[in-house]
Chain A
Amino acid sequence: MDIVFDQAEATFDRRVVLKPLSLRLTERRIGIIGLNGSGKSTFARLINGLLLPSAGRVVTNGHDTATHAAQARAAVGYIFQNPASQIVLPLVREDIALGLQSRRLAKADADRAVAGALERVGIAHLLERRAHELSGGEVQLAALAAVLATSPDIVIMDEPTNQLDLRNRNLIEQTIHALDENVIVVSHDLALVSGFPRVLLFHEGTLAHDGPAEETIDRYLKLAA
């Protein structure tokens, strides 16, 4: 993973939501924390080119998100705060296969990729289930499977444990730790990012702290007090 922010700034309706920022991310596990409206999700959306910087540039794995959006997105799998909203088709199998269609795989290969992705996150039994019948944890895992099926180098998860019960929260945590891919987690769940080598703290649209988890969380707790 190699993500470079070069004086990247984001504005929304002429309001600056992320002030010019330069940094490089290469660690396999990165946490992003901060109060509501601090610019965390904006930062994450800039990485996969879902949002383009209003100034400066973002380069993900060598692809400028403004000029090579498709390549940047192919390198990054993104799971939204509400993963149910990113499940486009009703059946789990169909939805995961939809993300593979642009690769024009043979049906047997696509089926194998779908089954493999579900197996990786431990929900192979949900293959033929309807997405709206799944529990919160299962929806989160189904969305993760859909992302993993496309073989991204980086997986971004925005509030992955939001509104989950303790069992599902722990399940998501274990799944994240077991992933081979590089993972960026945006979260209010401090325990989830506590073991990460690098955690970024955002505050009022600026990067307030950048360091190991313990140090950054300590800073965040003081900031939020």
Chain B
Amino acid sequence: MIPDAKGDSPIHRVPPGAKLLALFALSVLLFTLTSPVALSWLSGAIVAATLLCCRAALVQWLKAWPLLLTIAALGIWTVFARGPEAATIVLLRLGSLSLFATVVTVTTSVGQFIDTITRIAHPLERLGIANARDIGLAIGLVIRFVPEIRARYRNVVDAHRARGLKLRPSTIIVPMVISTILCADEIANAIDARNIRGTPSKRN
């Protein structure tokens, strides 16, 4: 779900702040509605709007199989715990929300996210609680590194295959964590070197 922002759909032209506000409003609405019928209508409208305005988002959403698998697992668990109607509600809520979130991320560039979040966080800076630019940069970097971590996972899996090793969670997680920490260190150095934050240097 890495932002593309290269398209020219009507949603691409909506200001990022408005899109984030709409996402927030939709999440409130989805969790306020309790009728499966009303939720079905709303979900149908979101799918139809996505198909009409931003098919790329639908494709990205379908590609995000770990997320869809998690939602499906939650749905199955809810069937046994609370019955099929509750499961339908869970599936419709999480499915619609994740699809709309995908629309927002696909149609908003990381730079726009950083600018918008920095603007939203400015009151916190005025109160002396946090640096708005740091908050924007941190959230932007999280979005930017989703495909990076996915690529690292593929590298680790390929390395296992090349060496004829069996895939085990422990042998996948450890190298991924180490390489991600090293990558984070490189990025921190780059941010320092480019004077993006104006932070103090390291004295070893």
Contact = CB atoms under 8 A, between A and B. Distances in A.
Contacts of B194: 73, 77-78, 86, 88, 98-99, 146-147, 150
Contacts of A82: 186
Given A94-B111, A128-B6, A88 B203 contact: no
Which of A11, A50, A65, A147 is packed against the most chain B CB atoms within 10 Å?
A50
Which of B2, B144, B189, B193 is packed against the most chain A CB atoms within 10 Å?
B193
B196 A99 contact: yes
Interface in B76-123: 109-111, 114
Given A80-B186, A82-B186, A94-B109, A89 B204 contact: no
Contacts of B3: 90
Contact of B140 (A13, A85, A89, A150): A89
Interface in A43-88: 48-54, 65-66, 69-70, 73-74, 77-78, 80, 82, 85-88
B5 A91 contact: yes
A99 B198 CA distance: 11
Which of A54, A90, A99 is packed against the most chain B CB atoms within 10 Å?
A90
A102 B196 contact: yes
Contacts of B134: none
Given A88-B187, A89-B110, A94-B110, A73 B204 contact: no
Leading 4 A-B pairs by shortest Cβ distance: A86-B190, A94-B111, A85-B186, A78-B193
Contacts of B183: 85
A90 B204 contact: no
Interface residues of A, number: 39
B154 to A, nearest CB: 13
Contact of A73 (B133, B186, B193): B193
User: Mostly helix, strand, loop or mixed at chain A's interface?
Assistant: mixed
A175 interface: no
A153 to B, nearest CB: 13
B204 A12 contact: yes
B192 A50 contact: yes
Interface in B120-150: 133, 140-141, 144, 147
Contacts of B202: 50-52
B189 A50 contact: yes
A225 to B, nearest CB: 32
Contacts of A53: 203
B191 interface: yes
Interface residues of B, number: 30
Interface of A: 10-13, 48-54, 65-66, 69-70, 73-74, 77-78, 80, 82, 85-91, 94, 97-99, 101-102, 128, 132, 146-147, 150
B111 A91 contact: yes
Contacts of A65: 201
Given A50-B201, A85-B183, A150 B2 contact: no
B193 A86 contact: yes
Contacts of A146: 194
Interface in B135-179: 140-141, 144, 147
Nearest to A128: B6
Given A85-B189, A89-B110, 12 more contacts: A10-B204, A49-B201, A50-B202, A66-B201, A73-B194, A86-B194, A88-B187, A89-B114, A90-B109, A91-B5, A102-B196, A150-B195
A102 B204 contact: no
A101 B187 CA distance: 17
Contacts of A66: 201, 203
A173 B202 CA distance: 31
Contacts of B6: 128
A90 B109 CA distance: 9
A68 to B, nearest CB: 11
A185 to B, nearest CB: 16
